[in-house]
């Protein structure tokens, strides 16, 4: 070996050693400091790009220019609600719920909140009603509670919470990935309100120490970066969901199945389903009023429709749920609106709860009126 080659070999070893050390230090620091929340708040949305009209969610990122990620700070920082402090003349309404609120198969201009805003409601105090879409696909009250918890920092004047029986079963509470990936925040809420949700549920994703490192969190970091990049296409196109030209319509003919999540007719008790999570949400909102809306659903007239209302619900379970919800609303003094059959069956798209643009506009009309009435009463 020549002198030069030996020197080069030594240099190569030194470089590799330093690189390995640097990588190790960065990973250890990352795991110790957990900077993801701080990084999540750094966003080009509401600065370079307009804020998104709904929370990031995407099953087909390449076509939707949108993706699903579970880092709450990054999700909210990309939303238009984070654009600026509430204006003095704004009556801020936060709408939470499932994919029907988020607007599955609807453009951002066709969602419930979009139509409420388009109506230009004002309340007697002269404030204009401004609704924000904080719905998120997947049906679970815990997921709604988690989002409500985060959303409270945006100074809402009213919270509209759309629920349906499918969001109540205890099996569904830790089912959604958003809840599973935010175990600390969810456990805090479970502890605070002593919810009947197992805080040690194995579905919670508790990262190991290695998963907390820079390498362990590379997927989350990549998703956060991709969310920022998709801001360009959101700004350029206004598209945040791939809406196919055709889809399989909601099921009309139904199975003759009467059981519901292991519950059998004829009786449904309040303790069978997660009313405690609903109560926690109302309580968590504190002084901010919460309007609970039993959301509209498709009522089938097809095969076995005498047994079931639709794909989701046996009639006995849903009827009992409505009865229980009405009782709870009366007993707890909750503001409730039961709109279960308010929208005609033809206005549902690929599921028993997803609405057409026209159905969405009709629902916005009803809820908009209720908001104005409530806001006027608040004054």
Partner 1 sequence: MTLNHILFFSAAALAAGLLSRPRWRANLLLLGSVLAIYWLQPSTPIRNLDFWLPTATLAVSVLVWAVTRPAETANSRQDLHTGIVLTLAVAGIGLARYLGPLCCLTPTRPPQAAQVLPVVALAAVLIWLAGRFFSGRASALNLISAALLALFIILKTEPLAAAASAWLRSRTGQSTAFASPLDIRWLGFSYVAFRLLHTLRDRLNGRLPGLSLSALVTYVIFFPAFTAGPIDRVQRFSKDLEADFRLDAETVWRAGRRVLLGIFKKFVLADSLALIALSPENALQTASPLWMWTLVYAYALRLYYDFSGYTDIAIGLGQLLGVQLPENFTQPYRKANLTAFWNSWHITLAQWFRAYFFNPLTRTLRSGGRQWPLAAIVFAGQLGTMILIGLWHGVTWNFFIWGLWHGLGLFIHNRWAEFTKGRSSRLDPRLANLGGVLLTFHYVALGWVWFALPLPAQSWHTLQTLLGLAG
Which residues form the interface with partner 1 (CB under 8 A)? Answer: 1, 4-5, 8-12, 15, 61-63, 65, 225-226, 229-230, 232-233, 235-239
- Cβ neighbours of 188 (radius 10 Å): 14
Closer residue to partner 1, CB minimum distance, 229 or 377: 229
Report yes or no: 167 and 141 within 8 Å, Cβ to Cβ: yes
Q: Which two tokens stand for residue 57?
A: 């969610």
Closer residue to partner 1, CB minimum distance, 210 or 232: 232
Closer residue to partner 1, CB minimum distance, 101 or 224: 224
Please state, in angstroms and rounded to a whole number, the distance separating the CA atoms of residues 364 and 150.
24
Closer residue to partner 1, CB minimum distance, 12 or 210: 12
Please state, in angstroms and rounded to a whole number, the distance separating the CA atoms of residues 83 and 60.
26
Q: Which two tokens stand for residue 160?
A: 């509209």
Tell me the closest approach of the beta carbon of residue 81 to partner 1, in angstroms: 23
Check whether the bond before 266 is cis (ω within 30° of 0): yes
Tell me the closest approach of the beta carbon of residue 243 to partner 1, in angstroms: 12
Tell me the closest approach of the beta carbon of residue 211 to partner 1, in angstroms: 21
Please state, in angstroms and rounded to a whole number, the distance separating the CA atoms of residues 292 and 290.
6
Tell me the closest approach of the beta carbon of residue 222 to partner 1, in angstroms: 9
Closer residue to partner 1, CB minimum distance, 11 or 21: 11
Tell me the closest approach of the beta carbon of residue 54 to partner 1, in angstroms: 18
Which SS3 state, helix, strand or coil, does residue 287 take? coil
Tell me the closest approach of the beta carbon of residue 47 to partner 1, in angstroms: 15
Closer residue to partner 1, CB minimum distance, 9 or 26: 9
Please state, in angstroms and rounded to a whole number, the distance separating the CA atoms of residues 303 and 307.
9
Q: Write phi, then psi, for 290 (nearest 5 degrees).
A: -120, 125
Burial 110-148, CB ≥16 within 10 A → b, else e: bbbbbbbbebebebeeebebbbbbbbbbbbbbbbbbbbb
Q: Which two tokens stand for residue 200?
A: 């040690």
The distance from CA 252 to its chain's CA centroid, rounded to whole angstroms, is 27
Closer residue to partner 1, CB minimum distance, 119 or 235: 235
Please state, in angstroms and rounded to a whole number, the distance separating the CA atoms of residues 320 and 243.
35
Closer residue to partner 1, CB minimum distance, 236 or 256: 236
| Residue among 47, 118, 127, 56 nearest 87 (CA) | 127
Tell me the closest approach of the beta carbon of residue 78 to partner 1, in angstroms: 15
Tell me the closest approach of the beta carbon of residue 103 to partner 1, in angstroms: 18
Closer residue to partner 1, CB minimum distance, 63 or 192: 63
Tell me the closest approach of the beta carbon of residue 280 to partner 1, in angstroms: 39
Please state, in angstroms and rounded to a whole number, the distance separating the CA atoms of residues 340 and 371.
18
- Cβ neighbours of 226 (radius 10 Å): 16
Report yes or no: 92 and 155 within 8 Å, Cβ to Cβ: yes
- Non-local (6+) Cβ contacts of 87 within 8 A are none
Q: What is residue 362's DSSP assignment?
A: H
């Amino acid at each position: 070996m020549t002198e030069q080659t030996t020197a080069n070999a030594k240099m190569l070893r030194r470089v590799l050693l330093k690189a390995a050390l640097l990588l190790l230090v960065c990973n250890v620091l990352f795991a110790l400091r957990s900077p993801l929340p701080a990084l999540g708040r750094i966003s080009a949305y509401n600065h370079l790009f307009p804020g998104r009209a709904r929370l990031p969610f995407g099953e087909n990122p390449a076509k939707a220019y949108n993706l699903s990620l579970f880092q709450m700070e990054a999700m909210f920082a990309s939303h238009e609600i984070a654009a600026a402090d509430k204006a003095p003349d704004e009556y801020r309404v936060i709408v939470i719920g499932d994919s029907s609120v988020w607007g599955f198969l609807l453009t951002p201009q066709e969602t419930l909140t979009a139509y409420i805003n388009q109506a230009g409601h004002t309340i007697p105090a002269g404030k204009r009603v401004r609704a924000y879409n904080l719905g998120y696909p997947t049906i679970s009250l815990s997921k709604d509670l988690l989002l409500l918890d985060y959303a409270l920092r945006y100074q809402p004047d009213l919270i509209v919470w759309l629920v349906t029986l499918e969001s109540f079963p205890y099996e569904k509470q830790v089912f959604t990935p958003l809840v599973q990936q935010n175990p600390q925040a969810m456990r805090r809420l479970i502890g605070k309100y002593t919810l009947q949700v197992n805080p040690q549920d194995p579905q919670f994703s508790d990262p190991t120490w290695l998963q907390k490192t820079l390498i362990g969190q590379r997927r989350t970091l990549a998703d956060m970066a991709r969310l920022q990049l998709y801001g360009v296409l959101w700004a350029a196109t206004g598209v945040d969901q791939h809406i196919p030209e055709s889809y399989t319509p909601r099921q009309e003919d139904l199975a003759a199945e009467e059981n519901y999540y292991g519950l059998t007719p004829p009786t449904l008790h309040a303790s069978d389903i997660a009313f405690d999570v609903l109560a926690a949400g109302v309580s968590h909102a504190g002084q901010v009023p919460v309007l609970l809306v039993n959301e509209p659903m498709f009522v089938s007239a097809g095969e076995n429709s005498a047994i079931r209302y639709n794909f989701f619900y046996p009639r006995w379970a849903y009827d009992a749920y409505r009865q229980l919800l009405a009782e709870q609303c009366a007993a707890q003094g909750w503001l409730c609106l039961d709109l279960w059959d308010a929208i005609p069956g033809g206005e549902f798209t690929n599921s028993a709860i997803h609405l057409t643009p026209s159905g969405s506009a009709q629902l916005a009309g009803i809820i908009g009126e209720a908001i104005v009435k409530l806001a006027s009463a608040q004054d």
